[in-house]
């Protein structure tokens, strides 16, 4: 359901970060967070809608990179996204300001093969990922759903990101 047609409420992501999310979004189970977000980043918040059709997370990890490194980082992230997928179609790659903070934004459709032990078969996903450097950390906003649901959720991803508030 499109966000403009539903109620949104404010959630505290951390002491310094808040955002507004649709009323039908809630926390992912700890098991789902562990399975979907295993890695070197710490997840601040991981949400899904009640149908579990959407994954929305904000994570962070320490970095030595700075905002002046965005052109290099943009190339690195684009390459990393491409390496994780069999094929990627980038529909947006830009730098935008959210709450007066620059974010590198990537919107794309990707085809990935499931990893053994996790999922099997080919998966087609729509993703809207935004990165910034904030207080010496790489902050990542990740909105993902099945590609077949892209038309239903494509407006939600940037709308939710636009509500992000950083102190």
Walk me through the domains of the chain, giving residue ranges and CATH numbers. Answer: 3-166 (3.40.1000.10)
Structure confidence at residue 36 (pLDDT): 85
DSSP letters for 103-147:
EEEEEEEEEEEPPTTT--SEEEEEEEEEEEEETTEEEEEEEEEEG
Q: pLDDT tier at 117 (50, 70, 90 boundaries)?
A: very low
Placement of tokens 């962070």 in the chain: 60
Provide mean pLDDT across the span 8-21.
94
Is pLDDT of 49 > 50?
A: yes
pLDDT in tens, 51-88: 899 999 999 999 999 999 999 999 999 999 999 889 99
Is pLDDT of 7 > 60?
A: yes
Lookup: tokens for 129: 């990922």
The model's pTM is 0.90
The vertex-62 CA angle with 56 and 63, nearest 5°, equals 110
Q: pLDDT tier at 5 (50, 70, 90 boundaries)?
A: low
Is pLDDT of 1 > 70?
A: no
Cβ neighbors of 113 (< 8 A, separation 6 or more) are: 86, 121, 122, 123
């Amino acid at each position: 359901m499109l966000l403009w047609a539903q109620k949104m409420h404010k959630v505290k992501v951390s002491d310094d970060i808040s955002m507004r999310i649709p009323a039908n979004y809630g926390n992912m189970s700890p098991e789902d967070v562990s399975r979907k977000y295993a890695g070197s980043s710490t997840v601040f918040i991981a949400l899904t809608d009640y149908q579990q059709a959407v994954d929305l997370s904000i994570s962070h990890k320490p970095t030595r990179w700075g905002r002046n490194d965005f052109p290099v980082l943009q190339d690195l992230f684009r390459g990393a996204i491409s390496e994780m997928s069999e094929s990627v179609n980038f529909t947006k790659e830009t730098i935008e300001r959210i709450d007066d903070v620059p974010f590198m934004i990537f919107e794309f459709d990707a085809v990935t093969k499931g990893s053994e032990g996790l999922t099997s078969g080919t998966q087609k996903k729509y993703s809207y990922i935004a990165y910034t450097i904030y207080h010496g950390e790489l902050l990542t906003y990740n909105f993902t759903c099945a590609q077949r649901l892209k038309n239903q959720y494509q407006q939600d991803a940037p709308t939710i990101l636009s509500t992000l508030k950083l102190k």
